[in-house]
Amino acid sequence: MKLAVFGSNGLTGRLLTRLALDEGHDVVAFTRRPGAFPIEHPRLEVAAGDVHDAAAVASAINGTDAVVSTLGVPYAKTPIDVYSHGAANIIAGMHAAGIKRFACVSSSAVAPHPEPIGGFVFEKILQPYVVNKIGKTTYDDMRRMEAMVSGSDLAWTIVRPSGLFDAPAVSAYGVAIDHIGYRFTARIDLADCLLRQALSDTYVRSTIAVATTSAHPSIVKLIWREGIRKK
């Protein structure tokens, strides 16, 4: 299979690209910084472009079998449109190329579940602070992206990870429709889940949650590293 990967130069995108190549697939890695892309492989094509450029997006998609978006940007106080504009151009490019299978990354924070899995501090202080303050513009745009993707006629799957962290290998992670009762997702597990979606139709036209069930990172350190420090 030949995959187009958007957000390929991010942490999850690189993992996804490597996993796909290791399994024998061809990959078109779309990135604004092709010179900084660290992977070289005979079955890899690095496509230079910005996701806001509809023509560049369409060119990267043409001739592929499925598309995966791992687009992501740091939290910011200013409005963010990478997710929604990127999705709009990807959907248009897929229509032009006649490609149906699409999987994209969102976040469990887009629709926090009322189940009290994190304790008082997490549920009442940390999560509201991240969702409604430092990450507000990010999650607002993710919601716009989700609405756009779920309203399309593509064979889409929206993948919502929980708090992202690094791990050395794919685990026996959990997947569930809409919500899963765990707080953390290893990037390598997210990458593997995205690849499985591109290769199958098990969760077509579904929003799924993915989580690393064996992980217990520090939520305070995770918020600092992934949110506040990157601003």
Tally of domains in the chain: 1
Q: What percent of the chain has pLDDT over 90?
A: 74
pLDDT-derived band at 134, boundaries 50, 70, 90: low
- Per the structure, the complete domain to which residue 139 belongs is given by 2-228
pLDDT digit string (tens) for 155-196?
A: 999 999 988 999 999 999 999 999 998 889 999 999 999 999
Cα separation of 191 and 25, whole Å? 14
Element (H, E) at 192: helix 187-199
Please state the pTM of the whole predicted model.
0.88
pLDDT-derived band at 75, boundaries 50, 70, 90: confident
Question: Reduced to 3 states, what is the DSSP secondary structure of residue 6?
Answer: strand
Confirm if 65 and 3 have CB atoms less than 8 A apart. yes
Element (H, E) at 85: helix 82-97
Q: What is the mean pLDDT of the segment spanning 72-80? A: 87
Q: Where are the alpha helices (DSSP H) in 105-183?
A: 119-121, 127-129, 136-150
Q: Does position 231 have pLDDT exceeding 50, yes or no?
A: no
Give the domain CATH number at 115.
3.40.50.720
Candidates 64, 68, 33; CA nearest to 47 is: 33
pLDDT digit string (tens) for 100-122?
A: 999 999 999 888 665 555 554 45
More confident residue, 156 or 215: 156
